[in-house]
Amino acid sequence: MPKILTAVFAGILIVSIVGAQTATKPADLTVSAETLDARVSSGRLISLSSAGAVMKTETGTKKIPLADLSEMTFAAAGDPTSGPGRAVVATSAGGYVTAASLTVSGGKVVFTNSSLGKISLPFSKVAAIYLPATGRSAAQVAAKCRETDIERGDQDVVVVSRKTGGWLGVQGVLKSIDAAALTFSWKETDRKISLPTVRAVFLAPSGKPEADKHSGVLTLRDGSSVRFASLAFAAGAFEVGIGERGAHSVPIAAVSSIKFVSDRVVNLSDLQPVDVKQHGLLDTTMPWRINRSVSGSPLTMAGRTYGLGVGVHSFCQLTYSLDGQYRALVAVIGIDDVVRPGGDAELTFLGDGKPLLAPLRITGKGKPMSVRIPLSGVKSFVIRVGYGKDQLDVSDHVDFGGARLIK
């Protein structure tokens, strides 16, 4: 029998009908679990509760307290915006979800997602609807809208492809969408637009999205996300607790990863340095970046992309005021894939003027390394990225992937 799944998707409450669960093979339980201090364990997930995770590893049974868990990864997640001809709903909270059988009426966007089932969102929770033609993706539609410089104001905007090949953005009020047409109020008159000509709808902003309290984010294999208040695992399925609405079952075969929220963690990218010194060997300076490499691309090392972190280039020195609040900084550090096998840099970490570790040399020929830097009692923390043994700044794109401070 189908089950009703109540969840918070990208900060939005959704009620979905989920089909009957399929049997889960033992191989489906394989998980890589990372703790807050960047220690990784791999094996089969046996159980998960408020006490923590129990895993079967090659060395035996391992227990990890829930308060120490950072992330659990089962499989790669898809990109909702990359599929050709696939409609996508972008939420006002910044999420994306693939959509089929999409309709609009009564101020609500209603559609079906292959993993979550039927979803109904009020206009206030939707930022955009992308309706790409066959052979195009939602990401390509969004890119062309930017290139075409579609104007957005305090009204809804419908983007229509014209017979001449160009795209036109019309401001007004979205009324409805069905299988054949979109109804749009323009200059106080309702007009119907053939749906196959519509490429996107941008809904007028309705203010800042309401924040929701959650303990983590569960990402499904199709790229959709569910925020949870509590989480348990047994018999091949997760019981997902959403606020006061109880627990709901999600089969492990549908899960890509789980990220846990902790008040013991502060992302380094969320802090602003109190002092920055940076310069190139000659006249060119590549500024440090938040959540990006210095080239502007995602932080990527050894084929893995990190959504959070810091990208720097030699020479760069960042000074942070920590006021003795943290025990350690953990990160994966290496040369970004964009420039490998180039790059040769030396890293120095200072706490109140004293070395915290021996200097680290990283090159584009070496593997990224997981680093834990002790910070107990440190008030002033300095990250210094200097030239390596080559004494050059060529390709010194240094990434601090997943860099986080632990209390």
pLDDT 10s digits, 6-62 = 333 333 333 333 333 334 444 456 899 988 877 889 999 999 888 899 999 999 999
CATH fold, domain 87-103+116-140+154-202, is SH3 type barrels. (2.30.30)
Question: What six digits make up the tokens of 281?
Answer: 């060997």
Tokens 């998980």 sit on residue: 31
Mean pLDDT of the residues in the chain: 85
Report the Cα 323 to chain-centroid distance in Å.
29
pTM of the model: 0.63
Equal fold, 87-103+116-140+154-202 vs 265-406: no
- The domain ranges of the chain are 3-77+210-260, 87-103+116-140+154-202, 265-406
Task: Identify any residues that bridge with 27 across adjacent strands, giving them in sequence order.
Answer: none
Tokens 């025990």 sit on residue: 327
- Of the listed ranges 83-97, 283-297, 331-345, the one predicted with least confidence: 83-97
Three-state secondary structure string covering 80-95: CCCCCCCEEEEECCCC
What are 335-360's pLDDT values in tens digits? 999 999 999 999 999 999 999 999 99
Helix (H) or strand (E) holding 148: helix 138-148
CATH of 265-406, one of 3.40.50.20, 3.40.50.720, 1.20.1290.10, 2.60.120.1060: 2.60.120.1060
Q: Are 172 and 158 in contact (CB under 8 A)?
A: yes
At residue 326, the pLDDT reads 95
